Amino acid sequence: MTTTTALPPARTAPLPTASRPRPGAFARVAAAEWIKFRTLRSTVWTLLATVVLMVGVSVLAAWGTAVEAVDAGGGPMNAAQLLSAGYQLAQLAVAVLAVLTITGEYSTGMIRSTFAAVPRRVPVLAAKALVLSAVVLVVTVVSMALSYVATVPFHDELDVRFDLTDAETLRMTLGLPLYLVAIALLAFGIGALLRHSAGALTAVIALLLVVENVLLLVPMRAIEVVAPFLPSTAGRRVLFDDDLVATIDAATSAAHLTPWQGYGVLVTWAVALLALAAVLLRRRDA
């Protein structure tokens, strides 16, 4: 590499003397986090994978249902159901992205530069959560639009209806981006608490894929009572149509949450984990 003997000129500007954070301080931290987010190839790839997964599963679901419908002669289909068909895979992609957003800084040592630049630390956590939420929201909405377009060839055959004035359809449609944002924040909170990529990824995937699904099968009263309040079990009700919600409720004598109550439980988990992460963030050495 080339070397240089260039020297910086003497400072020209007087030192800033304000003691309070100037207005816009958070906006600057958010701008920095946005630069960090979009300048990593891994985030770009993860987002592309999320879109492909969501659209792909929607198309597969439409195709599969179309084949079945010909045999069974089913009735009209709600488009919202098609659009959210890929939520289980999408939530994994989004959770991985969310975890790496924060643990990637710890594993590389970047966090020391980050906190040296923003020694109050909590604005960093908030800015990262904001950038992550906005990106997941946009990516989900784009994926849903693409899913809709990509499944058009099956719409006639499936008698697909998409009526956003219908409360159930509106809830399911809004539910997917909201659900994925909440899952992202939950995973981000776990990442911020554990600070290690491998540990946090294992914890999040185990929670989403294993713990909740296994607990649903355990016929113990205590677990049955708790199960409906687990984050994903509660939150994903917002994605289901009223029939499915009723079917699930019929299978258990534990609490019956409405879809929005269920979503509220998921958000509560995410907020609680983030609050705990914020407290520890200030206390721990970086």
Interacting residue ranges for another protein, rule: CB under 8 A: 1-8, 10-13, 15-16, 18-22, 24-25, 28-29, 31-33, 35-36, 39-42, 104-105, 108-113, 115-120, 283, 285-286
- Complex with another protein: residue 120 or 221, whichever CB lies closer: 120
Identity of the residue, 271 or 278, whose beta carbon is nearer to another protein in the bound complex: 278
Cβ nearer to another protein, comparing 243 with 283: 283
CB half-sphere exposure, 129, CA atoms < 13 A: 24
Q: State the minimum distance, in angstroms, from the CB of residue 123 to another protein.
A: 9
User: What is the closest distance, in whole angstroms, from the C-beta atom of residue 279 to another protein in the complex?
Assistant: 14
Cβ neighbours around 210 below 10 Å, total:
10
Q: Give the nearest distance from C-beta 95 to another protein in angstroms.
A: 19
Nearer to another protein, 112 or 221 (CB): 112
The nearer residue to another protein, 243 or 285, going by C-beta atoms, is 285
Collapsed DSSP state (helix, strand, coil) of residue 161: strand
Amino acid at 253: S
Min CB(194)–another protein separation in Å? 18
154-168 core/surface letters (b: 16 or more CB in 10 A; e: else): bbeebebeeeeeeeb
- Report the run of H or E that residue 78 belongs to, with start and end: strand 77-78
How near is the Cβ of 112 to another protein at its closest, in Å? 4
- Cα separation, 107 vs 135, whole angstroms: 23
**Residue 168 contacts by C-beta under 8 Å, 6 or more apart in sequence?**
78, 80, 241, 242
Please, what sign has the CA dihedral across residues 252, 255, 261, 262?
Answer: negative
Residue with Cβ nearer another protein (222 or 283): 283
Which two structure tokens, joined as six digits, stand for 65? 């249902």
Q: How far is the CB of 86 from another protein (least distance, A)?
A: 27
Interatomic CA distance for residues 191 and 116, integer angstroms: 20
